Copies of this chain bind each other. A is one copy, B any other.
Amino acid sequence: MSKTPAYDELCRRHQRLHRLAHLQSIASWDQSAFMPPKGNEARALALAEMGGLLHQQATDAALKGLLDSAEGESLDETQRANLREMRRAWRASNALPQSLVEAKSLAISHCEHAWRSQRPANDWAGYAENLREVLRLTREEARLLAEDSGLSKYDALMDQYEPGMRSTEVDRVFGDLRQWLPGLIQRVQERQRGEAVQVPEGPFATAAQRALGQDAMRLMGFDFEAGRLDESAHPFCGGVPEDVRMTTRYREDSFLPSLTGTIHETGHGRYEQNLPREWLGLPLARARSMGLHESQSLSFEMQLGSHPAFAGLLSPLIVKHLGEQPAFAPENINRLLTRVVPGHIRVDADEVSYPAHVILRYEIERALVEGEIEVDDIPALWDAKMMELLGIDTRGNYKDGPMQDVHWGAGLFGYFPCYTLGAMYAAQWFATMRREMPDLDQRIAAGELSPVFDWLNARIWSQGSRWETAELVQRASGEPGLNPAHFRAHLEGRYLG
């Protein structure tokens, strides 16, 4: 007879949820990657049915008692961490009434669907009307989550994606960033003005790009026995840890966006592929947070992928699949990958100007959630901040302004900071690696990437959700939490060094 019956029962229930969610993940991946159009309605109904079933199991009345009983059982440190994460999952599933979840799901679905035609039509008024309803329900959600957790409303939302992170901390690191980033962007642009960059000449056949992307994934250590690369309109990394399904998209006139996107998703993919096997199916084995996830994709895409020596590894692969071109010389590839050009669109932004897009969104969404501003205030704030941070005039251009992302329309308030927190964490990981392995850059230049992967695996991937983020960061880097100085040093070193 087990001495931890409540804990064991909780594990069994989570394993069951994990197995059913496996089918949901694969069917969702298929929906984006392979499903023909007429399958959509039946698939949506099937996924909604499963969503309801999983929610029902996650809010089962017996769970509260099991969680309380398990607290009193004799658990080791790992089990206790697992129990902490089980409770977190339980709170997230139970804090909101089903009626609110359903109302928000409907409002989101309506807003997203309309956005697809409103964005090309630059129809801000139409979008704003739907967004007001999503915001109204999100505020209600934030109020309930805040009551439940004792956090501020915005923090309660952000905690769903980045547990433990608070807006006071984000204010601190983004406030610092805000001081020096616009100046840095200008100085980098001035410096790059004199550089000669050769543009590769297309077209680049999709099949050749696909083979190139797969070779890059192999270079980055992706395990093709436990995952695949396919195509979808919006690239993502899905599937399950045992079988990671990455997607990308190809444009025949340009191969770098797909290649760097693939390297980015490979970072997500390897995190998932290397989550701790012995706990798979339990909350303990999940990735720590969205910010930490992004720190892996950016470790791959930016820290490694735009490393001055990495172009030397990429260049032979590009030549192998796309043929010889002067533009494929390593120095030129590196210049293409590190070109800083402020623009309207966040997802197209370079490493240096990207954080400006995130700061802008963070400032606006925090104020929206806290009720300090309304949807109608967004355009004027957007224009002012784009001018201030990137020197770009966005007036009247809603489609490439606040309508470019659908995060808010999808009710994802509190998510944007994760992108730049991830970039900062990634810089902190590489600063630690260099401290511990002074010859790291020479090894990368020699094509030896395993020290990087081994470090990330030992310190991040294999740790799952065993530690709260602050402790994970302490254990990984030896510093008490996020230190944004590493990100600044990284950007200044790479772009002005």
Mark A residues whose CB is within 8 Å of B.
16, 19-20, 22-24, 26-27, 30, 34-39, 41-43, 45-50, 53, 223-228, 240, 242-243, 280
Contacts and interface: CB of A to CB of B under 8 A. Distances in A.
A243 B36 contact: yes
B49 A19 contact: yes
A4 to B, nearest CB: 23
Going nearest first, the 10 A-B pairs with the smallest beta carbon separation are: A39-B243, A42-B242, A22-B46, A38-B226, A19-B49, A23-B23, A19-B46, A38-B225, A23-B27, A26-B27
A49 B24 CA distance: 13
A49 B20 contact: yes
A436 B483 CA distance: 83
A484 to B, nearest CB: 38
Given A43-B243, A49-B19, A225 B24 contact: no
Given A20-B49, A42-B280, 14 more contacts: A16-B49, A19-B50, A20-B46, A22-B42, A23-B47, A23-B50, A26-B26, A36-B225, A38-B223, A39-B242, A39-B243, A41-B242, A42-B240, A42-B243
Contact of A38 (B26, B36, B242): B242
A26 B30 contact: yes
Nearest to A230: B34
Contacts of A26: 26-27, 30, 43
A50 B46 CA distance: 13
30 contacts: A19-B42, A19-B45, A19-B46, A19-B49, A20-B49, A20-B53, A22-B27, A22-B43, A22-B45, A23-B23, A23-B46, A23-B47, A23-B50, A26-B26, A26-B30, A27-B27, A30-B30, A35-B243, A36-B224, A36-B225, A36-B226, A36-B228, A36-B243, A38-B225, A38-B226, A38-B243, A39-B242, A39-B243, A41-B242, A43-B243
A276 to B, nearest CB: 14
B23 A24 contact: yes
A228 B49 CA distance: 24
Nearest to A20: B49
A240 B30 CA distance: 13
A37 to B, nearest CB: 5
Contacts of A48: 19
Contact of A225 (B30, B37, B280): B37
A24 B16 CA distance: 15
Contacts of A240: 39, 42
Contacts of A41: 242
A48 B20 CA distance: 10
Contacts of A35: 243
Interface centre among A16, A41, A43, A53 (most CB of B within 10 A): A43
Nearest to A16: B49
A351 B97 CA distance: 62
A20 B43 CA distance: 10
Contacts of A53: 20
Contacts of A30: 26, 30
Contacts of A50: 19-20, 23
A53 B39 CA distance: 24
A240 B36 CA distance: 12
A20 B374 CA distance: 41
A309 B227 CA distance: 46
Contact of A227 (B36, B225, B228): B36
A357 to B, nearest CB: 35
Contacts of A227: 36, 39
A496 to B, nearest CB: 43
